Every structure is written in structure tokens, then in C-alpha cells.
Amino acid sequence: MHLDVELHKSFGRFDFATGFQIEGSRIGIFGPSGSGKSTLGNLLAGLLPPDAGRVCLNEHCLFDSSTGVNLAPEKRRVAVVFQHAHLFPHLSVRNNLLYGYRRIAARRRKLDIEEVAEALTLGHLLKRRIGGLSGGEKQRVALGRALLACPDLLILDEPLSALDKGLKDQIIPYLRKTLRRFAIPYLYISHSLGEMRLLTDQVLHFSAGRLQEVTDAETLARRRISDNGTGYLNHLHLSDPREVGSMLAYRWGSNELFLIDHGQPRNGLFALASKEVLLFKKHPQALSARNLLCSSILAMTPRGGSVEVRLQCCEEELTAQVVREAALELGLEVGMPIYAAIKASAFRWMA
């Protein structure tokens, strides 16, 4: 997907002005509340009229104030999923899903409802009314409806913000899986860096109505550490688990990691806080932690009272956070071999 944008919109006290060209399929719009993220989404979808500018999506011009082009929202092939599902309460789940689908030309219908319902685990709900559904189920219906409209661009505007944390954690894997499977390019709008890391490849970072930078969530996550001291969260892709007593042994590149078996889905992305990684200069003889990785130090960055230590573990990278005194005591230096110890209980399945 190629997006070429030049947009101006003033709300009196708030002035939104941006210009960018971007190519990709998983793009994040990130920034604090009030930075203009939804304004951008609404301008692109045609839900808000710009004061001036241009919006081109792939080879289509959707808006151009210099030539008077201004396609109506339903002509733009842009679908939006909002924070609140905005479903039709008098229609069944099936008819909500089919709402956009029935309004597009038959030749553009690339997905079928059974396939989408199955991917979003909505099959058993198809005959139900919207009223009795949970918040998470409603958001899945809203996503399914948007996918079935086969848009050229899907805009997800804080689709998880109204859900509580536990539900969010449940829905993110669905979102990842479904968006990947149906391969519809999207803009993911959120103020959550965690969601950006899980769902986007590139990030447009907004602040006060202006595009600050084009970056990626990983870069933002590393920078964020120094701001709030919570520490970097490692994301590890683990695969091929096998049972070893009460634990699961996973492959992490060519490393092996032992995790407590919580009945987590078998493969996927796991979170590991950098504070949970302990460093030893010599091979510890007795250790309760189940994982001991032989690694070398790639880089060290001071972060307040701590030092962020980036490690190379075979071909994989891992970040540890240690207090400055410990780093001094251990005499940590770039290039030095080091043992990283991790408890089997320190990993959390994410998606």
C-alpha cells in the first residue's frame, strides 16, 4: 500500500498539518492523547473535511483541494474500526458482518463470511443479536465487518482502548493472526507502545498535530526506557516446545529455553522483562534458574541508576537491565563473554 498525504485542518485552537509518503502494510500512528491521530484517521477516511491538501491511496486520488476531488467515505475503499464497535443493534451478528460486504461490487469480494467468522471465533454467534455480546466480541464483529468490506486500507483507531487489560491481551493475538491472514494493509492508531510493537512495522509519531518522525516501535521502546524507568521488555519468538518434566523446552534461534508449562499456546511471542535477566561473569555452579545462556556483550547504555546491557546469544539478541553498582562490580565491558540466567517462570506469552 502506498499513501501520499498532505493535509491541513484547523479546529481553532488545534492546528493539524502534515505531509508524508509511506509504503507498507502494517503502519502505526502513535502519539499522546490529543496529538491528532484520530483527526488524521478521519481525514483519510473522508469522515472529516480537510481545509486543504491531498490524499492519494495507491493509484487513487481520494482528495485534492487543488482539483476539487473529494470522494465520499463509501467510495474511498477505506474501512475504519473505532474504539467502540458502532454495530447495528437491531441486526444479527451475521448481518452486521455482511453490512459492508453487500455494498461492494461482487468482483471485489475476496473473503467469505464463514472464513472471517472462523478466524475471529464468531461462528457460534452468527445468529445472535448484538445486544448480548461482550465488549471483546463486539470488537471482533466490528473487525470482521471491516475485513469483509475488502478495503484497500483498514484504519484501526484505538480498537482496544475501551477494553480492560485482560481482554486486550486476549484480543491482540486475534488481531495479529487475522490481519496477517487476510493481508489487508492497515494503519493502527494507538497511544500504546505495547500495541505498536505487536502490530506494526513502521510508526508515524505525532505530537501536537505534527508528524515528529517516521520510526519503528522498537526504536521508541528503547527510548522510552530512559523516560520512565520501567525497563525494556524483550520480545522472544519461541518455537518447537517439547515436554521436559513439568516444563516446556523451547527453541529460541539455536538456544534452548525452559519455561514453566502454564498451558500456554505452543508457539509464539513471549515477553521477558530486562530486569529478569541476571548476569554472571563465571559459570555459576549452583543455580535455581533453569536457563543459563552463554552470551557476549554487544552494547551498554546507562539508564538512570541502571545500565541496559544488550547481549548476543548465538544469533539472537537479549537485553538485561542491571543496577549501575552491579555493572561496575562485574566489570562489564563490550565484547566480554557473560552468562545470562533466566527463571523458567519469567516468561509471559503474548501472541
Least spacing, CB of residue 11 vs ligand ADP, in Å: 3
Which one of 31-39, 50-58, 108-116, 234-242 is the stretch in contact with ligand ADP (CB under 6 A)?
Answer: 31-39
Task: Return d(Cα 279, Cα 290) in angstroms, integer.
Answer: 14
Q: Does 31 bind ligand ADP (CB under 6 A)?
A: yes
**Nearest distance from residue 93's CB to Mg ion, in Å?**
26
Q: Work out the number of other CB atoms within 10 angstroms of the CB of residue 170.
A: 11
Q: Put the strands of the sheet holding 247-252 in their side by side order.
A: 255-260, 247-252, 233-244, 268-273, 348-349
C-beta of 37 vs 76, nearer to Mg ion: 37
Distance CA 62, CA 54 (A): 8
Given ligand ADP, Mg ion, none, residue 200, with its beta carbon under 5 to 8 Å by kind, binds none
> Interface with ligand ADP includes 20 (CB under 6 A)?
no
Only one of the segments 33-41, 72-80, 217-225, 277-285 lies at the binding site for Mg ion (rule: CB under 5 A); that segment is 33-41
48 in the Ramachandran plot: left (φ > 0), alpha (ψ -120 to 50) or beta?
beta
The item of Mg ion, ligand ADP, none sharing an interface with residue 14, based on CB under 5 to 8 Å by kind, is ligand ADP
Q: Which does 151 bind (CB under 5 to 8 A by kind): Mg ion, ligand ADP, none?
A: none
Smallest distance from ligand ADP to CB 326, Å: 40
Q: CA–CA separation, 101 vs 122, rounded Å?
A: 17
| Residue 36 contacts ligand ADP per CB under 6 A | yes
Binding part of the chain for ligand ADP, among 29-37, 79-87, 101-109, 195-203 by CB under 6 A, reads: 29-37
Answer yes or no whether residue 212 interacts with ligand ADP by CB under 6 A. Answer: no
Q: Are 309 and 320 in contact (CB under 8 A)?
A: yes
Q: Which is nearer to ligand ADP, 44 or 236 (CB)?
A: 44
Residues 6 or more apart in contact with residue 315 via CB below 8 angstroms: 253, 254
What is the Cα–Cα distance from 148 to 144, expressed in whole angstroms?
Answer: 6
Q: Which of 5, 7, 39, 76 is the binder for ligand ADP (CB under 6 A)?
A: 39
Report DSSP state, residue 92. B
Contact 27, 200 (CB under 8 A): yes
Does 34 sit near ligand ADP (CB under 6 A)? yes
In this chain, which stretch among 33-41, 144-152, 236-244, 306-314 interacts with ligand ADP, using CB under 6 A? 33-41
DSSP 272: E
Partners of residue 251 on adjacent β-strands: 239, 256
Candidates 5, 7, 28, 35; binder of ligand ADP (CB under 6 A) is 35
Residue among 112, 113, 131 at smallest CA distance from 122: 113
Cell numbers given for 58: 495507491
Assign 15 to helix, strand or coil.
Answer: strand
Is residue 14 close enough to count as binding ligand ADP by CB under 6 A? yes
Positions in the binding site for Mg ion (CB under 5 A): 37-38
Positions in the binding site for ligand ADP (CB under 6 A): 11, 14, 31, 33-39
